[in-house]
Structure 1
Amino acid sequence: MKKLIFNIVFLVTVAILSGCSDFLDRESSAYSSSGFYKSEAAIKSGNEGVYNCLYMEIAYAIPFNISLDHYTGMALERNENTTIGAGGALNPDNNEVKTFWTKLYTLVARANSVIYGAKDYIDGLSPTAHQYLAEIKVIRAYAYYNLIATYGDVPFFTAPVTIEQYKEKRTAKEEILDFILTDLEECASDLPWIATERGRVDKAVAYGLKARAGLLGGSLNYGGKGSDYFRISAEAAKQVIGQRSLAQNFDDLFNITGQAKTDVRNEMLWELMYSGQGTKKTHVTGFGQVSRNTGQTGRHPSMLLADIYECIDGKRIDESPLYDPRNPQKNRDPRFHSTLWMQGDTVTVNNGSLVRQIIEAYEIETQFYDFSNNTWYKANNADINSSAAWASFCNAGVGYIWAKFSNETAENISAQTCNIPLLRYAEVLLTYAEAKIELNEIDNSVYEAINLVRNRVGMPDVSADRLGNQAKMRQLVRRERKVEFALEGLHHVDMRRWGIGDLENGQPSYGLPLPDIRYEGLASTDIPNFKTSDRADLNDIPNYDAYKDKLKVRDRNRFWDKKFELWPIPQLERDRNPNLTQNDGY
């Protein structure tokens, strides 16, 4: 994929020439040809080009939404104090800031070229062509949602850009949001409830994205209409509830074998599709986040995330008698084990052949399994003793490895074809619950939505002390979103919606016990404090001050500034369009 370096105005005009897929390169001249989009076949071709532009990689061969969670307190890049979630790296010249902007506007430009090109032929088009156009409008809405959620007010185009629009100013995010919500509602009538071709947009996706967008406007009180947006969100989610269902096994959602199951297909409303057949499309998500014994390590989960998972009794670790600091992975919400690996875990990964090992954070050797004779043996532990050990989960990381998308035995994690979720039915359920909670309309439908998600993994129902209590229900639904959707990119916006960037990112990152202490050296009272303030308690933000001297620490200079609530407008864009104002503080 060619790297686009053009500014937004020039990019919209020449998107048809710069290309974001082989298909688009082949058909580029036709995109600007008058009268091209007057047939179902032509619109289908344009539709395919728009879908191809969803592969918006911010880092090499990593789906964009995987990267996004690493710009929050839930995860860490391996170099200290460089994450764009906080600190000096979040600036107008940051490459990720520019890349995400450019790729989102490339997607908008592709969509606009087809929608506008077909407008004069709408009445004579087939129902299938109308469906293709509806899909494109949903995808355009998705691009604009990400733009306003990340950058705030942005240039807004619904047609190919004219010369006069080259110096367009930013449009208010409220106006763009209202356009998104209207467009998604109108698109739904031309879409089936479940797409016949996996990976395509359908009615459930249109309403699911409408619910997601409404939650953004409600949480940030866009235009002073927060309650109205929460109402829109709840009603849109309600349209989907009952039309789809959850997968039976949470783990099946994140590996190639599980994703072949019908129940998983039912939950995965919308996916980035990958394939090892024909024109191959692969990613390396697992390879870039595992032990150095089986791959590389560039991204790590934080202990802030790890300590949010409840114990199996449904209580937070500071409130549950089941929690043991010496064995923190025991008696935990099963999603802990599905999402995270840590010291002492036995894991099996396919990196061209099956490798089974015991995760070891302290010793230069660890145990590996010999599948040829079914025995264990000790060998060098690359996480401790290798030239790249500095980047491992216990050195650059804080003691945890991403199991999600890494727990793969059927295909090589250096060329994965498992799909990446963009929207799951579980999100619709929790979005409905959150919107209703914010409206203080807490009834059985809210408890049922949350219980479906919790019960799927064996967690207990909403506890009696939460029933009817808005603050406690708000805390629970936020906790559920964090643990259910970790590494799926949703927290990138959730952190901003909830206004908790300072809580997550305003302190150093703590982790596993130091080598001279280890887990067995922790006291039973070495448990994080979640109650340093009402905000910290509400949002499950742990504090480690009472025993921080026993723990690994990194990001000592990490800080949060209010301006980080939005990403900056890329400086390159402002250099070429002086009418693009900058977000406050940059």
Structure 2
Amino acid sequence: MKKTLIIYNLTAVLFTILGFTSCEDFLDQKNPAYDSEGFYTTEEGLKEGVTGAYSLLYFDMNWSVPACIVLDHYTAYGLEQDENNSIGAGGALNPDNGKIQTFWSAEYEIAARANTVIYGAEKAISQMSEEAKQYYAEARVIRAYAYYNLVSAFGDVPFFTAPVEIDQYKVGRTPKGEIIDFLIKDLNDAAVYLPWTSAQRGRVDKAVAYGLIARIGLFGGSFNVNNKAGEYFRIAADAANKVIGKRKLAQNFSDLFNLTGQAKSDVRNELLWELMYSTSGTKKLHVVGYGHSSRNYASSVRFPSSLIVDTYECADGKRIDESPLYDPKHPTLHRDPRFKYTLAGHGDTVSYTNTDGNNPLKLILNIYDDKTRFYPRKNAWYTAQNVDVTTTSPSLVNNGVGYLWRKYSDENTEQLMSSSSNIILMRYAEILLSYAEAKIELNELDESVYSAINEVRKRAGMPSVSADRKGDQNKMRQLVRRERKVELVLEGLLFVDVRRWGIGDMLNEHPSYGQPKPDIRYEGLGLTDIPNFKTDERHDLNDIPSYESYKDKLRVRDRNRYWNPKFTWWPIPRLETNRDPNLTNPDY
């Protein structure tokens, strides 16, 4: 019997029993992960094996926080609590970083489980039931997802499509072009056996398969892998176009990221693929919102940076340096409505759930004063100590730059310390924006491009694509990149986008600046204290601001932030290069 592929991490994988919000039992089972020959030639065996593959998607990069949430914090658009100690800033991006090892091992474990299922069933699958063929196709999609994540982080990586003997752990890297070409073909083949919308929430379907092809196509096109940029962008556009019209956007953007909203049928329609959580039966909970919220009620350990905050347009559809609506003294007002559903700043009211499950607790964020306003106490607002300011523990004041995430935190029906809202792996808004980006890169600026972007902007309550942008490739490129940032931030996609667009140098050329210092406050800002996005054409195109003209008035952290071209790819962990002499990190 062959040993399952768990590359360079030879400890046993223990599969746990997971509970999910769906009443279906497909994903809510024990996962024995049998490797016995012949086991996967039965429908029940395939079902068990795929369940094991799904269970591995939940791996954490932080305590009870899945990887897709953490990844954007390894760009300059997000901040972790430790200054200059993130993969995205300072010198922590190195082969000894434990988070990089975690990501590597976990993605290879997913691929290993999927490979075991696929290899075990491939000789018998043609004679098996339609349901079995669907399980088999799902395993192929899950494998492609794992390998895409590995390639997008590390570039060329070891690649296997079957269980591997121990003596095969010396193969070195496979070129990324070879891998993505295999994945695109395999996903197209697998899609044939999948429904457009899975009957059981949490399982992949045809829309996910084509959505993943679109991701891979954008990746291959942006990096011009094997000099086939045009071919890959065409693949991305065609794959996304197959999904367009098969699903719809939810009516309200804010419903996508909390338990109550996710129960709505229109939200289910947009959410193509989710990590499913449950508070019934065997619990499976996360603490995403708890780590993103005010220290007064939760634990502040991850924050948005000003680079993402200042990307949001004003309500008139203009960037903050171009809109008469923008007021530096009141920066959260008159902004794209997605701003208030994604971010919170000084003076904003935020709400969480009371420990007894009754009325929401509210407070007014205050980054300057020892006291602030809270609700409820006897159903009335009251003033009390503001821990965001007075604590010596991490907070948006001590460790952030004055802003908090609302995404996954604006929860009124369950405690943030034990959240069971689903975590999004893919949704329809991404499909629309991927289609638009691929077509823009092909310079095919037709009405279908404007329609795709307008659909996303209309749902947000923003103006349609302006007339001056139509027909202008650079202006449309700027807009679709801006839309991806403000629509999809904190969903793990900007981690790859930053590398695809080649903007890491600009994002990391200066420290992380934030809201005004305590001795300045907003009252001390002038009307000209506005970020400068036009230091050159690249900065303007990618909406990357400079704070140089008034930086002395602003909070600052990560003073040693810098960029090196080698950071485009993560280094393979030292543990792996020590085990396999054919795996090297020449740039590190």
Q: TM-score by structure 2 length?
A: 0.95
Alignment partner of 1:19 is 2:24:
no
RMSD of aligned C-alpha atoms? 1.6
1:381 maps to: 386
Aligned counterpart for 2:332 among listed residues 322, 329, 332: 329
SS at match of 2:105: helix
Give the alignment of 1:112-511 within 5 angstroms.
112-350=115-353, 352-353=355-356, 354-372=360-378, 374-388=379-393, 391-511=394-514
Kindly indicate whether the alpha-carbon contact (under 8 Å) linking 1:295 and 1:351 is maintained by their aligned counterparts in 2.
no
SS at match of 2:387: coil
Kindly indicate whether the alpha-carbon contact (under 8 Å) linking 1:86 and 1:561 is maintained by their aligned counterparts in 2.
no
Segments of structure 2 that go 5 or more residues without pairing to the other structure are 19-26
Instruction: Report deviation, 1:517.
Output: 1.1
Kindly indicate whether the alpha-carbon contact (under 8 Å) linking 1:508 and 1:558 is maintained by their aligned counterparts in 2.
yes
Kindly indicate whether the alpha-carbon contact (under 8 Å) linking 1:35 and 1:117 is maintained by their aligned counterparts in 2.
yes
User: What one-letter code is carried by the residue in structure 2 that aligns with 1:274?
Assistant: Y
Kindly indicate whether the alpha-carbon contact (under 8 Å) linking 1:276 and 1:282 is maintained by their aligned counterparts in 2.
yes
Distance in 1 (CA, whole Å) between partners of 2:284 and 2:333 is 38
1:526 maps to: 529
User: What CA deviation, in whole Å up to 9, does each residue of 1:370-414 have, x standing for no partner?
Assistant: 253x211110000111242xx111221001000111100101000
SS at match of 1:158: coil
1:101 maps to: 104
Kindly indicate whether the alpha-carbon contact (under 8 Å) linking 1:21 and 1:53 is maintained by their aligned counterparts in 2.
no
SS at match of 1:76: strand
Kindly indicate whether the alpha-carbon contact (under 8 Å) linking 1:350 and 1:413 is maintained by their aligned counterparts in 2.
yes
SS at match of 1:18: coil
For the structure 1 residues 7 and 78, does the alpha-carbon distance in structure 2 shift closer, same or farther, using more than 3 Å as the test? farther
User: What CA deviation, in whole Å up to 9, does each residue of 1:28-48 have, x standing for no partner?
Assistant: 5x6221111111011101111
Distance in 2 (CA, whole Å) between partners of 1:7 and 1:557 is 39
Distance in 2 (CA, whole Å) between partners of 1:192 and 1:32 is 28
User: What CA deviation, in whole Å up to 9, does each residue of 1:89-115 have, x standing for no partner?
Assistant: 000010001000000000000001111
SS at match of 1:397: coil
Alignment length, in residue pairs?
Answer: 573
Kindly indicate whether the alpha-carbon contact (under 8 Å) linking 1:364 and 1:382 is maintained by their aligned counterparts in 2.
yes
Distance in 2 (CA, whole Å) between partners of 1:292 and 1:27 is 38
Segments of structure 1 that go 5 or more residues without pairing to the other structure are 1-5
Distance in 1 (CA, whole Å) between partners of 2:309 and 2:372 is 23
Distance in 1 (CA, whole Å) between partners of 2:498 and 2:169 is 33
Distance in 1 (CA, whole Å) between partners of 2:428 and 2:364 is 34
SS at match of 1:271: strand
Instruction: Report deviation, 1:86.
Output: 3.1
Distance in 1 (CA, whole Å) between partners of 2:201 and 2:169 is 38
User: What CA deviation, in whole Å up to 9, does each residue of 1:401-460 have, x standing for no partner?
Assistant: 001111001010000000011001000000000000000001000000000000001100
Instruction: Report deviation, 1:289.
Output: 1.2
For the structure 1 residues 27 and 360, does the alpha-carbon distance in structure 2 shift closer, same or farther, using more than 3 Å as the test? closer
1:543 maps to: 546
Instruction: Report deviation, 1:27.
Output: 5.8
Q: Percent identity?
A: 59
Instruction: Report deviation, 1:346.
Output: 1.1
Distance in 2 (CA, whole Å) between partners of 1:32 and 1:370 is 55
Alignment partner of 1:577 is 2:580:
yes
Distance in 1 (CA, whole Å) between partners of 2:270 and 2:146 is 22
Q: TM-score by structure 1 length?
A: 0.96
Kindly indicate whether the alpha-carbon contact (under 8 Å) linking 1:217 and 1:229 is maintained by their aligned counterparts in 2.
yes
SS at match of 1:315: coil
User: What one-letter code is carried by the residue in structure 2 that aligns with 1:21?
Assistant: T
Kindly indicate whether the alpha-carbon contact (under 8 Å) linking 2:17 and 2:282 is maintained by their aligned counterparts in 1.
no
Distance in 2 (CA, whole Å) between partners of 1:549 and 1:246 is 43
Instruction: Report deviation, 1:355.
Output: 1.6
User: What CA deviation, in whole Å up to 9, does each residue of 1:206-239 have, x standing for no partner?
Assistant: 0011011100000000000000000000000000
Instruction: Report deviation, 1:19.
Output: 2.1
Kindly indicate whether the alpha-carbon contact (under 8 Å) linking 2:8 and 2:576 is maintained by their aligned counterparts in 1.
no
User: What one-letter code is carried by the residue in structure 2 that aligns with 1:459?
Assistant: M
Instruction: Report deviation, 1:350.
Output: 1.3
Alignment partner of 1:87 is 2:90:
yes
Instruction: Report deviation, 1:163.
Output: 3.7
User: What one-letter code is carried by the residue in structure 2 that aligns with 1:132?
Assistant: Y
Kindly indicate whether the alpha-carbon contact (under 8 Å) linking 2:347 and 2:364 is maintained by their aligned counterparts in 1.
yes
User: What one-letter code is carried by the residue in structure 1 that aligns with 2:259?
Assistant: I
Instruction: Report deviation, 1:8.
Output: 5.2
SS at match of 2:367: coil
User: What one-letter code is carried by the residue in structure 1 that aligns with 2:371?
Assistant: E
Instruction: Report deviation, 1:156.
Output: 0.3
User: What one-letter code is carried by the residue in structure 1 that aligns with 2:463?
Assistant: P
Kindly indicate whether the alpha-carbon contact (under 8 Å) linking 1:92 and 1:570 is maintained by their aligned counterparts in 2.
yes
User: What one-letter code is carried by the residue in structure 2 that aligns with 1:300?
Assistant: F
Distance in 1 (CA, whole Å) between partners of 2:259 and 2:187 is 31
Distance in 1 (CA, whole Å) between partners of 2:100 and 2:549 is 37
Distance in 1 (CA, whole Å) between partners of 2:15 and 2:304 is 31
